[in-house]
A and B are shown apart, each in its own frame.
Chain A
Amino acid sequence: MAILSNRLSKEQFEKNFSDIHPPFETKDAALVEANRCLFCYDAPCMKSCPTSIDVPKFIKQITTDNVKGSAHTILSSNIMGAGCSKVCPVEKLCEGACVYNLMDEDPIPIAKLQRYSTEMAMQKKWLLFKRKESKGKKVAVVGAGPAGLSCAHVLSREGIDVTVYEKEKQGGGLMTYGIAAYKVSPQFCEDEVNYILSIGGITIKYEQELGKNIQLSDLKKDYDAVYMAIGVGLARKLEIPGEQLEGVVDAISFIYEIRNSGFNKVAVGDKVVVIGMGMTAIDAATQAKRLGASEVTMLYRRTQEEMPCTEVELNIAKLDGCEIVWLAAPKEIKGADGKVNEMVVEKMKLGEPDASGRRSPVATGETFTLNVDMVIKAAGQMPYQELVAANQLENNGGKLKVSNNQTNLKGVFAGGDCVNGGKEVVDAVQAGKDGAVEILKFLNV
C-alpha cells in the first residue's frame, strides 16, 4: 500500500479519461434525435434550465439546417452553453423534465444536441454577438469562473469595458479546475474562455488574487462598479483526529492537480476512501479509480435518498467499481509514520429532518475499520469567510449577502457560488447575467 503516481500505461490513462459523453458522430445522427423533439410549448425542459435556454427552439433550428441560429439561441441564454452541455446534471434539469419521460421513453438528448451546435460555433469561430459601442464605463470582475465570465459578457455586449481579475493562470473557474477530466478537457475549457472573450471589450488579468495582489478598495476606486464572483474554495474539514496525516487530501485539490498535471504525474493511493456523495465526491472517486487505485470506497452519512449527486453520477461511480457505503461517517484517521493506514468509520442511522429538509444522520456508536492509504475529503466547500470579512462585506458564514445582486458596499455586486454557497455551473452563469442586469441599472446605461 502506497500513494503512487504513474500506475497505468499512457494508453490506459487515455482510455480512462476519454470523453464520457461522446458527441454525435455525424449530422445525420444529430438529426435523428433532433427530429424526435416534440417542440413543446412553454417547454418543461426550458423551465428546468436555470438559464432558461429555449431548448425546443434550438433543437428545431438544428432540423432546419440553421445551426448558427441554434448556437445563438443557446449562447444568448447561457454563454457557457458549450461547457454546460458537458457538465450539467441534465438528468435533474432539462432532460429530467423532458415530456418523453412521462411516456417512459428516453428523453431527448438535449445536452448532446446542445454540444452539437455550440461546438460547431466554437470550431467555426462564429461571432454571434456584437458589442455595442463603448459607453466609457469600466467594471471590474473578480473571478473568471462561470459567474464572472457570464457577467462580463453581458456587460461587454452593452458597451461596458470589463477587466476580469483571475487568481489562476487560466479562466473558467471550476469548469477548468474542478470537474472530472473525462467530462471536459483543459483544452476545451481554454477554447471556451477564448470564444467567450472573442466579443472583445473584456480583458483578463491572470494570477491576480483578491486580498493579495489586488484590493477591493482599489477596484472600487478605479472602476465604476465591481462584480465579485470569487466562488468558494476551501474544502470543509472533517474535524476528526488524524486529518493532518500524510495521505489526507481534499477533493478540490486532488481534482485541481489532475487538471494541471499529466495523468501519470498525479499520485493516488492503492486503497482510497472518499468522504461525501456530491458531484465533486463522485468526480474524485471515479478519477482516483481511473488513475489506477485498486479500491475506492465512498462513505456517506445518509442514504441514497438524501444524496446530493444524481443517480446518473452515482452509476458512473458504481460502474467504475467504486464501493458505496451508506450511513457511514468518518470518526478517526489512523496512521503509521505519519502516513494514513486506517480509517475508523461510525455507522449512522437517520433521525429527524434537519435545516436542509433531509433526514439527519445520527451516530449509532457502532464502528468498523477500513484499511486505507488515502483519504479524499469531499464533504463540501467553504466560502472565503476571512476574505469577505476583511473587506467589510456582509455575509452569512462567509456567503455574501446581496440585495438585487448588490452587496452592502455600494457599487460592489456579487453572484455565483460566493453568494449561494456552491451550485452548478449553469446556476453561476445565470447569476452572472442577473448581476450584469443590476450593474447596468446602477451605471445608468
Chain B
Amino acid sequence: MADISSIFLGIKSPNPFWLASAPPTDKKINVLRAFEAGWGGVVWKTLGSQVKNVSSRYSAVNYGGHKVMGFNNIELISDRPLAINLKEIEECIKLFPDRAMIVSLMADNNKESWHDLIKKVEDTGAHGFELNFGCPHGMTERGMGAAVGQDPEIAKMVVEWVMEKATIPVITKLTPNVHSVVPTGKAVVEAGTNALSLINTIQSVTGVDLDTLVPNPYVDGKSVFGGYCGPAVKPIALKMLTTIAQNEVTNKVPVSGIGGVSTWKDAVEFMLLGASNVQVCTAAMKHGFRIVEDMCEGLNNWMDEKGYNKLEDFIGKSVQNIVHWEDLDINYHHIANINQDKCIHCGLCYIACEDTSHQSINLDFGKPYNTYSIKEEECVGCNLCQLVCPVSDCITMVENRIAPEHVNWIEYQKRGLPLNDH
C-alpha cells in the first residue's frame, strides 16, 4: 500500500484531500462530519468583518442530463459571529488533532484589521492561514477578495502585513479573474507567502430563466455575477496551475490545487501539474463528504499500480510536458483507425469530420448500418473522431511519423521546409 499521507508546509494530514474554504467548512457540525468521513483537512470558511447574505445563493449549469457540471455562488464570507467561529475551530482541532485546520482570512483593508484577525485565529491553535484574495463577488465591491488579488501591488502589501504578524504558515489564494495569475503570484511570493493556492471561482452568469428573463441565481427579480466552479472549470484551473508551476519565482513555494476536483483522477492530474495537495468543494456539495472514500482508495490503487510509494514521487511530473507551441515536433503525425469489430455505426465520427474537420472518413451506405473507414491520406490526426466516438478504444490514433527526426517550428522555418502540404 502506498503512503498517501501529506505534509504541506509542515502541516500533516492523512491524505492530500482538503475541503476548500466554502459553505461545507462554515460550521463545526459540517467539519466534524467531514473529518469523520475521512477528509485530510479543511480550510475554514473565510473569516472577516461581519456580513449579511442574500437568498438565493447558488445556481448551476447542467449538461446532457448531468446536473451541476458547473456551479456558481453569490455567497459572501462567513456570516456567523467571529467568536462562534473561533470557538468551533478550536473544538474541531481538539477532536481531530491529526487533521489539517487552515483558516481562510479576509480582513478589512488595513494592517490593524489583519493583525487583529491573525492574532485571534492563531489563539485557536489553527495550523495555517489561507488569504482570500479571490472572492469575485460582493467582497470585491468593498475593496477586498478579488479586488486585492487582481492588483499585484495591493496583494503584495497585504501579504507583507500578514507576514509581519503570522507565526503559522500562510497560503495565498489566487483569483483566476485576471489575464494571468503569475504577476500576483510572483508579488505575493516575493512578499513572503509560504505557499499559493488556486484557483478561486471565476466570475460568471450561469444562465437566464426564459420565463422570468432573470439570470441565475435569482434574488427578487435580480441577479449578480457569481463565482463559477465545479468540473467545468478544471481545465482552466489546470492551465493556471501549470503557469505557476513553470514560473521560476512562483514554483519555489508549494501549491494547493483547487478548481473542479471531483475524483482521485482529477486530484492526480492537479498533483502531476505541480499541486502538493488539492482542495475540494463542489463535488462534496453535490454528493456529500462520502466521496473522499473513493478518492483515497483510487489514489492508493493508482500509486500502487504505477509504483509510487509516496505523493512526492509523482508531484510535478507532468509540468515539463507542457511546452511552448514552438517546441512541438512537426514531424510527429498520427492517423485515426476505426476498429470495425467495435464500431456501432453511429456515424458520429463521420459527421464531425465531414462537417467540421477534414473530410477524412469514408461512408459506405448500408441499411440500416453504414460502414465508416478512415481516408488515411486525408487524416490530419486531429483526434476529433476519437473524441466523439461513444465506444472505448474503437477509434485509436496510430503513430505514423512524417520523418524520424524531431523538428520543431523554429528549426522547420530555418530549414525552409514546405508549408501547406495538404
Binding site for B on A (CB under 8 A): 31-32, 34-35, 38-45, 47-48, 63, 97, 99-100, 102-103
Residues of B within 8 A of A34 (CB): 65
Q: Are B344 and A102 in contact (CB under 8 A)?
A: yes
Least CB separation from B367: chain A residue: A47
A43: nearest chain-B partner, CB-CB: B347
Q: A63-B65, A103-B391 are contacts. A38–B368 as well, Cβ < 8 Å?
A: no
Cβ contacts under 8 Å, A63 to chain B: 64-65
23 A–B contact pairs at CB < 8 A?
A32-B65, A35-B64, A38-B346, A38-B390, A39-B348, A40-B346, A40-B347, A40-B348, A41-B346, A41-B347, A41-B348, A42-B365, A43-B346, A44-B345, A47-B367, A48-B368, A63-B65, A97-B368, A99-B345, A100-B344, A102-B345, A103-B344, A103-B391
A45 and B391 alpha carbons, distance in the complex (Å): 18
Interface residues of B (CB under 8 A from A): 64-65, 344-348, 350-351, 363, 365, 367-370, 390-391
Question: Which residues in A have their C-beta under 8 angstroms from that of B345?
Answer: 40, 44, 99, 102
Please determine whether A42 and B370 come into contact, CB atoms closer than 8 angstroms: yes
- Which residue from chain B places its CB closest to the CB of A94 in the assembled complex? B368
Q: Which residues of B contact A45 (CB under 8 A)?
A: 368
Interface centre among B347, B350, B367, B391 (most CB of A within 10 A): B347
Is A41 in contact with B350, judged by CB distance below 8 angstroms?
yes
* Secondary structure type dominating chain B contacts: loop
B120: shortest Cβ distance to chain A, in Å?
A: 48
Contact check: which of A35, A39, A99 meets B65 at CB < 8 Å? A35
One of A32, A47, A48, A99 near B346 (C-beta < 8 A): A99
Hey, which chain B residues are within 8 Å of A44, CB to CB? Answer: 345, 368-369
Other-chain contact of B347, A32, A42, A97, A100 (Cβ < 8 Å): A42
Query: What's the Cα separation between A78 and B27 when bound, in Å?
Result: 59
Q: Known contacts A42-B370, A44-B368, A47-B368; is A99 also within 8 Å of B344 by CB?
A: yes
A35 to B69 Cα, complex, angstroms: 15
Please give, as numbers and ranges, the residues of chain B lying within 8 Å of A100 by CB-CB distance: 344
Q: Which residues of A contact B64 (CB under 8 A)?
A: 35, 63
Across-interface contacts of A102 in B (CB, < 8 A): 344-345
Q: Complex formed: what's the CA distance from A127 to B416 in Å? A: 66
Chain B hits for A32, CB < 8 A: 65
- Of A42, A43, A47, most buried by chain B (CB within 10 Å of CB) is A42
Kindly provide the distance from the CB of B183 to the nearest chain A CB, expressed in whole angstroms.
42
State how many angstroms separate the Cβ of B281 from the closest Cβ of chain A. 26
- Of chain B, the residue at the smallest CB distance from A42 is B347
* Best-buried of B64, B346, B350, B365 by chain A (most CB within 10 Å): B346
CB distance from B374 to the nearest CB of A (A): 16
Q: In whole angstroms, how far apart are the Cα atoms of A63 and B368 in the complex?
A: 25
Nearest 6 pairs of A and B residues by beta carbon: A35-B65, A41-B347, A44-B368, A41-B351, A99-B344, A40-B346
Known: A44-B369, A47-B368. A38 touches B348 (CB 8 A): yes
Q: How far is the CA of A97 from the CA of B370 in the complex (A)?
A: 12
B351 contacts across to A, CB distance below 8 A: 41
Chain B residues whose CB sits within 8 angstroms of the CB of A40 once the complex forms? 345-348
| Nearest-CB residue, chain A, relative to B350 | A41
Least CB distance from A28 to B in Å reads 10
Contacts of A48 on B, CB cut-off 8 Å?
Answer: 368
CA distance A48 to B369 in the complex (A): 10
Residues of B within 8 A of A38 (CB): 346, 348, 390
For residue B4, give the distance in angstroms from its CB to the closest CB of chain A. Answer: 35
Nearest to B64 among chain A residues (CB) is A35
A103 to B363, CA, bound (A): 21
